[in-house]
C-alpha cells in the first residue's frame, strides 16, 4: 500500500502527477484553504504533510501534530511559518523548497524597480479610468535606472540574481549581508560592512533578507531616515520586515519617493493605508508565480518527502 500524503493546497499539474504516482494523495479538489484544525485532524490519517506558507506550524501547533507524522515539507523557500526547533524536539523531519523561486522572484523585484521608477501603476490606472488626456511633457515623469545605486539587503541567491538583472540596466550594485560573498559571486558589487552604510548610498533599495527575529520590522522610521531623500524601495522578501505605518507615513510625506511591494504583513489583509497611495506599485505575492518556479518548488518539496521515507536525509532539510 502506498504511503498517504496530505497536500494542503492544489499544486501545478506536473507536481500533483508526480505525487500521485508515488503516494495516495489527500487534498481538496476545489483548492479550499484548510484551517489548522482540519490539517491536524487529517494528519491522523496520513503519513506525511506537504504544506504551504498559509499553514502556520507554530510551537503550539507542532505540539498537537499526531505521533504518526514525522515528515513535513513546505512548498516555499521561507520557513518562518514553521517552528523548526519544535519540530526537531518532536523528532519531525522538516524541509523547504529553496531553489525554485530564485529567478522568478528576482524578475519580480526587477519589475517592481522598473514599475516604481517609471510610475507604471499610476499610468495603468489613468488608462483604465479612461482619464488619459493625451501626452504631455510633465505627465507621470519618473526616473531612469542607469547609473543609479541599487542597495540590496540580503545577498543570497535571490539578491545575486537581482543584481545580475540590474546590471543589464547599468545600475551600480551595492549590498549588505552578514557574510561577504567571494569575488566570483559579487561580480563587482560593492560590499558594505553595515546596513547603515548601505542605506546611506541606496537611491534604490531592495529588501531580500529572510524574516528572522533580528530582521523583523527592521525597515522603520529610523531606517528610512538613513536613505537618500526620495529613495525607491522594493520588497519581495517578507512583509513583516517592514513597519507599515512608518513606510506609509514616509511615502505620504515624500521622504520615500515610491515603493514597489510584493509582500505584506498579515496578507492578504494588508494595511489600509497602502490602497490610496499613488506612489506605490503593489503585487499580490507574485514572486514565485511562474510555472517553472512553482513546478520546481513542488519537486523539491517532494524530494524531501521521498528521501525521508527512504531513510535518508532530506536534501533541503531544516531539522
Write out the catalytic residue numbers.
238, 267, 285
Beta-strand (E) ranges in 117-158?
149-153
Residue 206, strand partner residues: 152, 234
In angstroms, rounded to a whole number, what is the distance separating the alpha carbons of residues 147 and 38? 53
Nine cell digits for residue 283: 503585487
> Is 252 strand, coil or helix?
helix
Lay out the sheet containing 4-7: strands in order across: 24-26, 4-7, 48-51, 71-74, 93-95
Nine cell digits for residue 130: 479612461
Residue 151, strand partner residues: 174, 205
Q: Residue 318: name the closest of 48, 92, 95 by CA.
A: 95
Nine cell digits for residue 50: 506537504
In angstroms, rounded to a whole number, what is the distance separating the alpha carbons of residues 108 and 93? 31
Amino acid at each position: 500500500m502506498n504511503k498517504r500524503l496530505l497536500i494542503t493546497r492544489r499544486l501545478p499539474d506536473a507536481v500533483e502527477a508526480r505525487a500521485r504516482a508515488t503516494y495516495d494523495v489527500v487534498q481538496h479538489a476545489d483548492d479550499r484553504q484548510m484551517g489548522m484544525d482540519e490539517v491536524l485532524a487529517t494528519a491522523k490519517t496520513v503519513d506525511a504533510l506537504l504544506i504551504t506558507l498559509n499553514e502556520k506550524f507554530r510551537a503550539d501547533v507542532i505540539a498537537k501534530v499526531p505521533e504518526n507524522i514525522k515528515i513535513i515539507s513546505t512548498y516555499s523557500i521561507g520557513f518562518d511559518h514553521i517552528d523548526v526547533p519544535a519540530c526537531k524536539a518532536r523528532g519531525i523531519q522538516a524541509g523547504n523548497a529553496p531553489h525554485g523561486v530564485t529567478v522568478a522572484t528576482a524578475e519580480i523585484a526587477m519589475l517592481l524597480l522598473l514599475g516604481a521608477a517609471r510610475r507604471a501603476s499610476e499610468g495603468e490606472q489613468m488608462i483604465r479610468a479612461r482619464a488619459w488626456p493625451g501626452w504631455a511633457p510633465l505627465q507621470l515623469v519618473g526616473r531612469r535606472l542607469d547609473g543609479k545605486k541599487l542597495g540590496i539587503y540580503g545577498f543570497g541567491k535571490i539578491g545575486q540574481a537581482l543584481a545580475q538583472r540590474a546590471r543589464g540596466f547599468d545600475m551600480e550594485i551595492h549590498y549588505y549581508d552578514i557574510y561577504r560573498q567571494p569575488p566570483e559571486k559579487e561580480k563587482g558589487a560593492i560590499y558594505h560592512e553595515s546596513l547603515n552604510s548601505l542605506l546611506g548610498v541606496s537611491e534604490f533599495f531592495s529588501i531580500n533578507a529572510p524574516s528572522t527575529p533580528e530582521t523583523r520590522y527592521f525597515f522603520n522610521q529610523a531606517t528610512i531616515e538613513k536613505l537618500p531623500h526620495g529613495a525607491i524601495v522594493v520588497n519581495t522578501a517578507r512583509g513583516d520586515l517592514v513597519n507599515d505605518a512608518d513606510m506609509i507615513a514616509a511615502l505620504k510625506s515624500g521622504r520615500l519617493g515610491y515603493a514597489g511591494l510584493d509582500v505584506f504583513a498579515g496578507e492578504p489583509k494588508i494595511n489600509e493605508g497602502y490602497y490610496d497611495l499613488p506612489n506605490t506599485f503593489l503585487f499580490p505575492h507574485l514572486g514565485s508565480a511562474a510555472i517553472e518556479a512553482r513546478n520546481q518548488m513542488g519537486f523539491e518539496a517532494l524530494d524531501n518527502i521521498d528521501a525521508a521515507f527512504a531513510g535518508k536525509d532530506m536534501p533541503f532539510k531544516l531539522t
